[in-house]
Structure 1
Amino acid sequence: MFTGLIEHLGTVSSIERDSGGCTLTIADSAPILPDCHIGDSIAVNGACLTVTEFDKEAQGGWFRVWLANETLQRTDLGERKVGDQVNLERAMGAHVRFGGHFVQAHVDTTAVIVDRKPDGESLRLLFQLPEPTAERPSLLPYLIPKGYVAIDGTSLTITSVHDTERTFGVMLIKHTQEKITLSRKPVRATVNIEVDMVGKFVEKSVHAALSGGGGEGVRALVEKVVEDVLAKKGIV
């Protein structure tokens, strides 16, 4: 489990590809390696990856992770080049403050930056989600204004949602811009998206209740909400 609060920016120092995927070496990583062990999870641009090798004593420190083709297809990591910076976060410890939101670092899809505008010292970014498919349905039901979304692993508050255009926006304050890679990405760049998992659990519970597979209490609550909405619209 992660919080979406980026700890450090690492640098891709080597990429080794084969038919099964690729190995990334992330350099300049010493600040997050003091308690590192083989098999630990580190979120790289929001994708939970397993450390296969590391050296915290080397200059700058480095670690290696393996990416299967599935990960390369679902994230922006297949587009990274040597010299690119990436957002890094270690898995959350039980003793730390919880300042972001619940992030699994299981990327749901990618989106494209379609607009970026300065707003004083802040930066407003607009993203467009891909057309939904049977294999990958729309994520828009999980995106609401003032809700959470993880973009390249960064926990951010949604400022706007436009369902018909498949777009949503966020705003980065100056401090955040300096600590993550997102503020440097241009229009048309790809980003990793993970929606708030709480919304997924709520949706599943509602579906189960309405289909008779959930608890009676949940079903009764859903029915009451629907009745209230219909009453306000004068339908019942």
Structure 2
Amino acid sequence: MFTGIVTDLGTVREVQPIGGGHDMRLVIGTSPGFLATPQPAAIGASIACSGCCLTAVDLGGDWFAADASAETLSRTTLGRLRPGSRVNLERSLRLGDELGGHLVSGHVDGVAEVLSAEPENASVRWRFRLPPGLSRYVAVKGSIAVDGVSLTVNEVDGDIFGVNIIPHTAAVTTFGTLQPGGLVNIEIDMLARYVARLRETTP
């Protein structure tokens, strides 16, 4: 479980095909201390990589390796990563930690297209087009995770939604290099998911 508060901006060092080339191992470089605090990470630790919960299968002082299955690659943007790509990183939540964003599972629901980025006062309004079937879970002033970043939805128009990104968020996440036409991982608010499911199954 995560909060959607990115704590490091990693860099992909290696992309290694595994499983007959259908799966992929990512080696991701981190900032000094990311894997050491608040307590040292261990093999098997869960780390959110641009919104995708992955398991650390190998560790170094400033890097970790994680495997992504063909299923994960087909449903996320991870298959587009190359050496040098930047990745939003967050270590898993511990009981008692500050919940600064919202509860994020790291299970990506779909991939959205970046439509535009327009300056709006001191921030930037980003607009995205959701894949079919997800717009019903997105509401104005609700929460959404975009590439693992916990954000507040500021507008919804059909399958298009918008969020505002302040300069600090752009500086410490991949929003600083994101461009219209790009693709991002989306995780809807899990509360919306369960409410919708209850409505479907309640007599």
- TM bin, normalised by shorter chain, reads over 0.9
Higher relative contact order (CA 8 A, sep 6+): 2
Q: Which residue of 1 aligns with 2:106?
A: 105
Equivalent position SS for 1:31: coil
Is residue 47–residue 89 contact of structure 2 (8 Å, CA) maintained in 1? yes
TM superposition score normalised by structure 1: 0.81
1:44 is aligned with what amino acid? C
1:70-90 deviations in whole A, cap 9, x for unaligned? 111111111111111100000
> What is the CA deviation profile of residues 124-163 of structure 1, one whole-angstrom value per residue up to 9, with x for unaligned ones?
1000123x3xxxxx01111001101000000000011111
Which structure 2 segments of 5+ residues have no match?
A: none
50 and 29 in structure 1: CA distance in 2 versus 1, 3 angstrom threshold: farther
Residue of structure 2 in register with 1:152 after alignment: 147
Task: Report the counterpart of residue 28 of structure 2 in structure 1.
Answer: 26
Quote the residue 2:76 is aligned against. 75
Task: Give the drift of 1:99.
Answer: 1.1
Map 1:167-182 onto structure 2 (within 5 A): 167-182=160-175
- Where does residue 193 of structure 2 map in the other structure? 200
SS of the equivalent of 1:30 reads coil
Instruction: For residues 7-45 of structure 1, give each alpha carbon's deviation from its aligned partner in whole angstroms, at most 9, with x where no partner exists.
Output: 100100000114231100001343221110000000000
In the aligned structure 2, how far is the partner of 1:29 from the partner of 1:75?
24
Q: 1:87-129 CA distances to partner (integer Å, 9 max, x unpaired)?
A: 0000101121111111000000000101110113311100012
Q: Aligned runs of 1:95-134 on 2, under 5 Å?
A: 95-130=96-131, 132=132
Larger strand fraction of residues: 2
- Alpha-carbon contact 1:4-1:150 (below 8 Å) kept: yes
Detail structure 1 runs of 4+ shifted over 4 Å in the superposition: none
State the superposition RMSD in angstroms: 1.1
Higher helix share: 1
Provide, for residues 173-193 of structure 1, a one-character-per-residue CA deviation record: whole Å limited to 9, x for no partner. 111111110232111000000
Counterpart in the other structure of 1:233: none
Per the TM alignment, residue 198 of structure 1 is displaced from its structure 2 partner at its CA by 0.4
Give, as a single letter, the amino acid of the residue that structure 1 aligns with 2:73.
Answer: L
Q: Calculate the TM-score normalised by the size of structure 2.
A: 0.94
Distance 2:54 2:123 in 1: 31
Q: How many aligned positions are there?
A: 198
Answering whether residue 42 of structure 2 is matched by residue 37 of structure 1, we say yes
- Determine which of 49, 52, 74 is the counterpart of 2:54: 49
Q: Distance in 1 between matches of 2:49 and 2:32?
A: 15
Identity level (%): 38
Q: Which entry has the higher C-alpha Rg, 1 or 2?
A: 1
Instruction: State whether residues 29 and 63 of structure 1, in contact with CA within 8 Å, keep that contact through their aligned partners in structure 2.
Output: no
Q: 1:5 is matched with which residue?
A: 5
